[in-house]
Structures are given as structure tokens and as C-alpha cells.
């Protein structure tokens, strides 16, 4: 197809700062329609980007014959219903993370996509960062030998950025489903998606006495994941962590060296000494963030066009969610959970 005709469901912050501006610059994309329950906001965006159709009800969008693919950027509790409707309508879709609130919902979506013959991608932009892709290539080429451990995390000093994320019925969980799932995906991707053997987790809600604070979901989480390969991953996440600046990190330890991303650093053993072999800087943090979404959207559009196989699939998302379910079960039961 010359141009992929795209509809966007949900016109919140992520759609406004990434999806719409980036899609509008792609020559092989036509943004055909917007849908949002706040239809006046959608109309303003429709005028800004000269979008032909604007709807309050996403089902009216899906009824359009001139829609090839859909971006779903709505609260998590709506993903199941909307993604199933996309599958039934034969529309390829990119769903912002997480795909669903539970593994059960994720499996139903992935199965419906397979049955409907549509391409289902889940937004995991961290693996599309230029520095993360360099690190992946570095690890795959064996530059630090056999990787046996990844220590990763995302610690934010500021509270949750959207209040619906702190409502369990809407989000499905707290900081782990918001931030931790991105770090989990990045870690598994770097290792080549080994299967999980067991998880041990502790979750806390420590927002304090602030009347506007988070209640009912975790704002701090610490997780150990043992893999069937013998490797291990630890992930620490928080919405309320006392740091000078937000910290996103992913450190890989191999028997021949050490690598980390955010910032990118490589050290490998050379004659029993660790030598710094880090490549030159590949852009500012702002540029890397923008390019991560740009690469993700280009990948989705390319896969829809049949140029290459899809990455970050619904099946991968389902497997991630089985780990997430086990993490919440472990935290609740205060014991290790076998998968």
C-alpha cells in the first residue's frame, strides 16, 4: 500500500506529544480519523493536523472502510474492549503499554488478533531507543561473554503522572504496571526472551499522609525474577523515590565484562582488565526519547505494510503479563511463585 491510513483512539498526553506529531511527519502515513470521549479536544487536534474524521465513539471509526490500522492510547481498562473490536473489524493495532490488566485479558486479545488475521503490537518504546539497540547488538555479539544477571529499574521522584494509573480497577496495578513492565520487557528483550522460572516480589504503598496520594496500588516495587536459563533479573520501580533526578537504568553483567544503558557504557575484559569500549554519544536524552517513539511507529507501519516481521507482539505481551500476574501474587502472598 502507498500509504497506511491510521486512526488514533484516545487523544491524551502520549497521543499529543508523540503519536500525532510523529505520524504526521511520516510520508507513508495518512492520519484519517481520531476518536475520544472528550470530542471537543479531538476536534481541536483534528483541525490542527487536518484530519478528515473525528468521533466520540471509537466504534464509528472502526466502521470506516478507509482505516488500515489503529493506535490505541486510552486507559488500560479500555484496551480489552477496544482491541477486541479492532480484531473483529480487521484493523491492525498498536496498543500502548500495558496491553491489558491481567494475563487473561492479554491472552484473549492476542487470540482474537490471531483469529482475525490482524497485526497486534504493544508499545514498548524503550527497546526502540537508539542506545538500547546498540546495547542489544553489543550483547548479541558476545562482547561481554555470557550475560548472567541484569539489574534494572525506574525510580521517579515525582508522583504518578496520571491519576487513573493509581486506580486499580482502571490500571490493573501500580508502579510496576506503569514503569516496571517497560523495564521487564527491555531486560527480557536484551537477553533474547528466556522463560521465567519463578518470581519473588515485595510491593509497598508508602505515599504518606498526603490526601492526594496514591492508595490501593503499590508506589514502590522490588522484584527478583529467576529464569529457566539460569540467569536472573532484578527490577526496582517507584513513583516516590528520593533522588535528585529520575533514574532509568538497565545494567547487564557478563563473565567477560559489563554493559549498561541510560547512560550507555560498555566495559569488556582485555587481558584480565576491564577496558572502556563505549561508543561516542548518540544524541541527547530528549533526542533519544523522541527517536524511540519514532522508531516504534516506523516499525509498526512497516510491519503493517508487509516490509518486515512485527516486533513486540501480542504473544510477547501475554507472556510478560503471566510474569506480572505472578509478581502481584508473590507480593500479596509474601512468597516465591513458580511459573
CATH of the domain at 273: 3.30.360.10
Could you tell me which of 31, 26, 101 has the C-alpha nearest to residue 293?
26
Last residue of a domain, one of 74, 95, 126: 126
Q: Is position 21 within any domain? A: yes
Residues 66 and 29 in one domain: yes
Q: Is position 300 within any domain? A: no
Q: Is position 299 within any domain? A: no
Q: Is position 96 within any domain? A: yes
CB contact at 8 A, 175 and 265? no
Residues 69 and 152 in one domain: no
Residues 50 and 87 in one domain: yes
Residues 215 and 104 in one domain: no
Residues 76 and 92 in one domain: yes
The total of structural domains in the chain comes to 2
Residues 62 and 134 in one domain: no
Residue 284, Cβ density class (10 Å: 0-12 exposed, 13-18 middle, ≥19 buried): exposed
Q: Over its length of 339 residues, how does the chain's per-residue pLDDT go in tens digits? A: 689 999 999 999 999 999 999 999 999 999 999 999 999 999 999 999 999 999 999 999 999 999 999 999 999 999 999 999 999 999 999 999 999 999 999 999 999 999 999 999 999 999 999 999 999 999 999 999 999 999 999 999 876 777 888 888 899 999 999 999 999 999 999 999 999 999 999 999 876 545 455 567 899 999 999 999 999 999 999 998 877 788 999 999 999 999 999 888 888 887 777 888 887 767 787 899 999 999 999 999 999 999 999 999 999 999 999 999 999 999 999 999 999
**How far is Cα 320 from Cα 217, in angstroms, rounded to an integer?**
19
Residues 134 and 232 in one domain: yes
Could you tell me which of 146, 176, 107, 123 has the C-alpha nearest to residue 257?
146
pTM for the model stands at 0.93
Q: Is position 306 within any domain? A: no
CATH of the domain at 78: 3.40.50.720
Whole-number pLDDT of residue 214: 55
Whole-number pLDDT of residue 278: 84
Residues 118 and 168 in one domain: no
Whole-number pLDDT of residue 139: 96
Residues 52 and 13 in one domain: yes
Whole-number pLDDT of residue 211: 47
Q: Is position 121 within any domain? A: yes
Last residue of a domain, one of 100, 126, 152: 126
Residues 74 and 221 in one domain: no
Q: Is position 97 within any domain? A: yes
Whole-number pLDDT of residue 286: 84
**How far is Cα 14 from Cα 179, in angstroms, rounded to an integer?**
15
185: domain range? 127-292+320-338
Residues 213 and 73 in one domain: no
**How far is Cα 195 from Cα 231, in angstroms, rounded to an integer?**
10
Q: Is position 41 within any domain? A: yes
Amino acid at each position: 500500500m502507498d500509504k497506511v491510513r491510521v486512526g488514533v483512539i484516545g487523544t491524551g498526553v502520549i497521543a499529543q506529544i508523540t503519536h500525532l506529531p510523529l505520524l504526521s511527519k511520516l510520508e507513508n502515513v495518512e492520519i484519517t480519523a481520531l476518536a475520544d470521549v472528550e470530542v471537543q479536544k479531538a476536534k481541536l487536534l483534528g483541525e490542527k493536523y487536518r484530519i478528515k474524521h473525528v468521533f466520540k465513539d471509537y466504534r464509528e471509526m472502526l466502521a470506516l472502510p478507509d482505516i488500515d490500522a489503529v493506535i490505541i492510547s486510552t486507559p488500560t481498562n479500555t484496551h480489552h474492549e477496544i482491541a477486541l473490536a479492532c480484531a473483529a473489524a480487521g484493523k491492525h493495532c498498536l496498543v500502548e503499554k500495558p496491553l491489558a490488566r491481567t494475563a487473561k485479558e492479554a491472552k484473549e486479545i492476542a487470540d482474537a488478533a490471531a483469529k482475525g488475521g490482524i497485526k497486534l503490537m504493544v508499545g514498548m518504546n524503550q527497546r526502540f531507543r537508539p542506545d538500547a539497540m546498540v546495547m542489544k547488538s553489543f550483547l548479541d555479539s558476545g562482547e561481554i561473554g555470557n550475560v548472567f544477571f541484569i539489574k534494572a529499574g525506574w525510580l521517579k521522584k515525582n508522583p504518578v503522572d496520571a491519576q487513573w494509573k493509581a486506580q486499580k480497577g482502571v490500571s490493573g496495578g501500580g508502579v510496576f504496571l506503569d514503569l516496571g513492565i517497560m523495564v521487564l520487557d527491555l531486560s527480557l528483550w536484551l537477553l533474547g526472551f528466556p522463560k521465567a522460572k519463578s518470581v519473588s516480589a515485595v510491593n509497598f504503598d508508602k505515599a504518606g499522609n498526603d490526601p492526594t496520594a496514591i492508595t490501593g496500588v503499590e508506589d514502590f516495587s522490588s522484584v527478583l525474577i529467576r529464569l529457566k536459563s539460569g540467569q536472573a533479573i532484578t527490577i526496582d520501580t517507584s513513583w516516590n523515590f528520593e533522588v535528585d533526578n529520575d533514574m532509568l537504568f538497565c545494567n547487564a553483567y557478563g563473565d567477560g565484562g559489563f554493559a549498561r544503558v541510560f547512560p550507555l557504557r560498555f566495559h569488556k575484559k582485555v587481558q584480565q582488565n576491564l577496558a572502556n569500549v563505549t561508543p561516542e554519544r548518540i544524541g541527547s536524552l530528549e533526542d533519544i526519547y523522541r527517536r524511540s517513539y519514532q522508531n516504534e511507529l516506523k516499525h509498526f507501519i512497516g510491519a503493517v505494510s508487509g516490509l518486515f516481521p512485527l516486533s513486540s507482539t501480542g504473544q510477547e505481551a501475554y507472556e510478560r503479563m503471566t510474569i506480572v500476574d505472578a509478581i502481584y501474587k508473590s507480593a500479596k502472598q509474601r512468597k516465591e511463585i513458580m511459573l
